Amino acid sequence: MWYRVIYKSLIFNLNTAIIKLWIVISISLFSAASMASEEDNQAQLTAAFIYQITKYVKWPSLVNNVEKQPIMLCIIGSFKNSTLKHFQLLENKVSQGKKIKLNVITPSAEKLGDTRCEIIFAQQSEWQNYKINELEALSKRSLLIGNTKTFLHEGGMMSLVLVQNKMKIFF
């Protein structure tokens, strides 16, 4: 099936990009993080990792895009302003020649449905609102990122987990 080829291509691109990603991240991120609260620290690192990921992943929906549609980063949940500010800093940054646009989806809103998102990030409590078949449908068109190891067993594709003030990526 065609979506399996796209999914395998997405995973292959992610795996090959991880080495480059670790080099870039280790040089640039860990200097100022020690003064922030753990939640603020996690939000800052998560936003930075997601930005770096956008540089290495090729989304099938954007490959043949002549109009330079933006990379849509969807954040699901009710975040504190201090947490949300780190994700808002990604708005209008450029990655692979395309601007990043942020779409904050509140828990009271409708589920994602046909919303175009290349990356969907949510905290564990938000992902629990989705059934496994809904996550499978979303994973055919979006990179699903959570923040716990268990997210991978529930249908997620990648988890960014803060362990001893260092961000770890799990696949």
* Three-class DSSP category at 62: helix
Query: Binning pLDDT at 50, 70 and 90, where does residue 100 land?
Result: very high
When pLDDT is averaged across residues 82-109 and rounded to a whole number, the result is: 86
| Mean pLDDT of the chain, nearest integer | 76
Per-state percent for the chain, helix, strand, coil, to nearest 5: 45, 20, 35
Q: 73 has which bridge partners?
A: 102, 119
When pLDDT is averaged across residues 122-130 and rounded to a whole number, the result is: 77
Q: Which of 12-16, 39-43, 76-80, 126-130 has the lowest mean pLDDT?
A: 12-16
Locate 152 and state its tokens: 């991978």
High-pLDDT (> 90) share of the chain, %: 22
Residues 6+ apart with CB under 8 A from 77: 105, 106, 107, 122, 123, 125, 126
When pLDDT is averaged across residues 22-35 and rounded to a whole number, the result is: 48
Map out the domains of the chain with their CATH numbers: 2-170 (3.40.50)
Q: HSE (CB half, 13 Å, CA atoms) of 105? A: 21
The pLDDT value recorded for residue 31 is 46
pLDDT digits (tens, 9 = 90+) for 145-165: 988 888 888 778 899 998 887
Flag whether pLDDT at 142 surpasses 80.
Answer: yes
Flag whether pLDDT at 67 surpasses 80.
Answer: no
